[in-house]
Amino acid sequence: MNQNNTTTTEIIHEVPIYAEPIFHVGGFQITNSLLTSWATVLIIVIFSIVLRMKLKKIPGKLQHIFEVMLEGALSLVDQVTNDRKISNKIFPLAFSLFVFILISNWLGLMPIFGSIGLLVKEGGVSTFVPFLRSGTADINTTLALSIMVVIGSNVFGIMAVGTWKLFNKYINLKALAGIITKVRKDPAVLIVAPITFFVGLLELLGEFAKIASLSFRLFGNVFAGEVLLASMGAIFAYIVPGPFLFLEVFVGLIQALIFSLLATVYFTIASQDHSEHEEHEHKEKEVLASV
């Protein structure tokens, strides 16, 4: 009696928390999220070139739409900075961040992104790895953007208020020196100056907290959206995932807006003296409250 032995291979389709490698160039690993980030930049470059070539004194419909969008975005930045000169300096970076993050978030929602890939076999289990994945669903991308914003804001602060003032914001040597010069006239400086110096150190720690806050907020929301859509798609194939897809479109827009607005707040704070920070810190709390 002949028996036919059939071997079945289990195929796993999951959304891991890390970006999956697709191929290597020498010792450099190319992941699916990196490919999406490159695609996002390519889309922005091509669209910018096409739009630039079609600029006219009498704008067409497309040019008019973008002029209205830019004017509205610049007005929004003005509400944070309260200074058009500062807004003009910050706006190019803030708007570029918004566009990049928005396109990256929305590209990850395209059906083709999760359906085309390769099978990686390990033993009797095959894992499906998509060729493309949202760039902002990779912690490395959001971390790089956050580090760029924090370092850039401090460089902007040096250009705006000077190296010495920015240095004293974090390591307040001026407060310690005041102990010697003011202690005879005001003995309370013995208590106030160390507290002021300690607050400066907290400001320095706050810069690292900004990196964690920006990167994990964006990554967490986008990654959670991918997991939610994958789960709904596996349980309910067609109609039910629709509302969740539209929800993630809205979430992608909101997260891009929040990231760019927080970057604007950080740049604005860095461009002001320490005594003027309270108003902008209040605006930062308002932005965070909208998450």
% pLDDT > 90, the chain: 21
| Any domain includes 5 | no
- Alpha-carbon gap, residue 136 to 86, rounded angstroms: 28
Bridge partners, 117 (sequence order): 130
pLDDT digits (tens, 9 = 90+) for 129-159: 666 778 888 888 999 999 999 999 999 988 8
Q: Give the CA distances from residue 142 to residues 63, 124, 203, 205, in Å, rounded to whole numbers and listed in that order.
A: 31, 35, 22, 19
Number of compact structural domains in the chain: 1
| Any domain includes 28 | yes
Bridge partners, 177 (sequence order): none
| Any domain includes 3 | no
* Residue appearing with tokens 């910050």: 90
Q: What is the mean pLDDT of residues 276-283?
A: 52
| Any domain includes 285 | yes
Name the amino acid, one letter, at 2.
N
Instruction: Name the range with the highest mean pLDDT among 18-22, 228-232, 263-267, 273-277.
Output: 263-267
Q: Which domain holds residue 62?
A: 10-289
74 or 127: whose pLDDT is higher?
Answer: 74
| Any domain includes 4 | no
Q: What is the pLDDT of residue 126?
A: 56
Q: What is the mean pLDDT of residues 241-260?
A: 84
Predicted confidence band at 286 (pLDDT cuts at 50, 70, 90)? low
Q: What is the pLDDT of residue 42?
A: 93
Predicted confidence band at 2 (pLDDT cuts at 50, 70, 90)? very low
| Any domain includes 192 | yes
Q: What is the mean pLDDT of residues 245-251?
A: 82
Predicted TM-score (pTM) of the model is: 0.80
Q: What is the mean pLDDT of the chain?
A: 78
- Alpha-carbon gap, residue 259 to 257, rounded angstroms: 6
Q: Max alpha carbon distance in the chain (Å)? A: 107
- Alpha-carbon gap, residue 234 to 118, rounded angstroms: 19
Q: Residue 12 above 60 pLDDT?
A: no
pLDDT digits (tens, 9 = 90+) for 169-225: 787 777 777 677 776 676 776 777 777 778 778 888 888 999 998 999 998 888 887
